Amino acid sequence: MYLDDEQRTPTDAIGAAALHAWEGSPLAILTVDGEGVLQSINPAGERLLGRPLAELQGQVLCELAHPLDRLALQQMLLEARAARTPPRQELRFSLPGEGSVPTGFSVAPCPVRANTSVCVLRDLTKEKTLRPQLLHTERLASMGLIASVVAHELNNALAGALGCLELLELEADAEKRRLLGNAIQELRRGAQIVLDLKGYARAEERLADRLDLGAIVERVGRMYQFHSGGEEATPPLDLTVEPGLPPLLGNSQQLFQALLNLVRNAADAVDGLPAARRRIRIEVQPSNDVVVIRVIDQGPGVPPKDRSRIFEPFFSTKEAGAGTGLGLAVVQSIAAGHGGRVECEETPGGGATFVLTLPHESEERFGQRSSSGAPRLAAASPLSGARVLIADDEPTVAEVCGQFCELLGMTVRIAGDVDAAVGLLEEDSFDLALLDIRMPGGGGPRVYRRILSDHPRLVSRTIFMSGEPSPDMTEVRGTGYSSVLPKPFSLAVFREAVTRAVTGEVAEAAPGSSPD
């Protein structure tokens, strides 16, 4: 090794620290002279290049590099000799025999010895192995963002179309009502597909929603069938959900993604097996103070030596290119975020059973949570005569909401953007505000902030509408607004939300409409 004894001695504290850093560094460190001849190398460098110091010392460093990288290395050494520090580059160095090791190579002029450069090499072997998986993960994230934007636009279109059909249904004869009902049913089916896709594409961080676990499991079944396209080769999925499940608190989108990951993992495990072993089961049942979800397959199972590692990021027992190695890591993260856990057990008769255990809460605690929320107005005044502000940049949605409110006896003012809505607030008084979350000029939250500051009576009578959650809602969440209506919504749901906001009471079924 190289150590300048004129400036440092092993007994000197600084020299001793430098020696320990040299010997113990996990990074390869070496020095070369002005001709690029290797002078010294630390133990990590010997391990990285697969050669001892005696064999490496005196060799020209460029000759150790991969032939295609020698020119780049030579240029970096020339810059260091000219007292400049070139940017880090990825260079390969040949190993004894065959093969090479990829490194992140940095070089700088040595500050204590003239005509000498210090080189630092970081082994990139593992990073390059994971790079395709990381790129795939980034592509999935981009696809999720695109799917989210598309879902928002589709939900606005579906909301307008469904509202128009439901308004027509109110005054149609029996035959037309039947046809309109069929059209409404098909549009709602499309809306459900959009909801499932949106939920898989991006999970919101909110963990305080009351969950219907049975409905989440049914969504997983629908998405699995949608993904398979009804192909006969797709392993069948059986759902067994015990009735009367206790309530859970958490994030429905995250749990949906966790279960879908487990189901797809099971489908991969039984792929190519005989029909008798190609069934997948989801079983859900309460047990004391938890709910237990089992995803069961009869595939080859998970070897005992791998069960402690299968939840590690990027660890996978599948063939290269068959997965990102993130699916089970995501499941574990979601389970932990909900105060639960996920484990892998052996299925009797062969296969794997993934057990997702989640804590549930009592109905009494949910009642306490509900009572501690924003206060509702208890006025008993009817909807007739109430004045409503509707702010939505989707003209069809605004028109449908306006016409239905007029059928309920309300007086309607419509704004197509934020500035128009704020202007109407200043010139008129309202009993109800319906605000689209995403609009030009700052969206519904900006209008609502004006309501908070200047129209406190309208705070608990404000309803937000949206085809996609927005980060802007984070700033106003929990400030007392009435509710959020996800688009598309039925007129029955719309009327119930409006009635509750204005009168504090739950509405009866809307005339001529059927509940969802």
Helix, strand or coil, per DSSP, at residue 125 = helix
Helix, strand or coil, per DSSP, at residue 274 = coil
Neighbours of 87 (CB within 10 A): 7
Alpha-carbon span 516 to 505, nearest angstrom: 19
Domains 13-123 and 375-503 share a fold: no
Of 118, 92, 106, nearest to 39 (Cα)? 118
Of 54, 13, 57, nearest to 33 (Cα)? 57
Give the homologous superfamily in CATH for domain 131-367.
Answer: Histidine kinase-like ATPase, C-terminal domain (3.30.565.10)
Phi, psi torsion values for 31, nearest 5 degrees = -120, 145
Of 195, 181, 197, 187, nearest to 159 (Cα)? 187
* Domain range summary for the chain, segments of one domain joined by +: 13-123, 131-367, 375-503
Written as one letter, the residue type at 188 is R
Q: Which pTM was predicted?
A: 0.45
Helix, strand or coil, per DSSP, at residue 185 = helix
Kind and range of the H or E run holding 210: strand 209-211
Contact 133, 314 (CB under 8 A): yes
State how far Cα 508 lies from the chain centre.
Answer: 38
pLDDT by residue for the chain (516 residues), tens only, comes to 444 444 334 445 566 777 888 898 999 999 999 999 999 999 999 999 999 988 998 999 999 999 999 999 999 999 999 999 999 999 999 999 888 999 999 999 998 888 899 999 999 988 877 766 666 656 656 666 666 667 777 777 888 888 888 888 888 888 888 888 888 888 877 777 676 566 555 544 555 567 888 888 988 888 887 655 545 567 889 999 988 888 788 888 788 888 988 998 888 888 888 888 888 999 999 887 889 999 999 888 888 777 767 777 655 655 544 444 456 777 887 887 788 888 888 888 888 899 999 887 644 434 333 333 333 333 333 688 899 999 998 888 999 999 889 888 899 999 999 999 999 999 889 999 999 988 888 889 999 999 999 999 999 999 999 876 666 677 787 888 988 888 888 888 888 889 989 887 644 433 333 333
Q: Which fold has domain 375-503?
A: Rossmann fold (3.40.50)
Partners of 122 in the beta sheet? 104
- In angstroms, what is the C-alpha Rg of the chain? 32
State how far Cα 363 lies from the chain centre.
Answer: 29
Architecture per CATH, domain 13-123, reads as 2-Layer Sandwich (3.30)
State how far Cα 414 lies from the chain centre.
Answer: 35
Structure tokens at 33: 């002279």
Alpha-carbon span 246 to 233, nearest angstrom: 36
Contact 48, 103 (CB under 8 A): yes
Written as one letter, the residue type at 324 is T
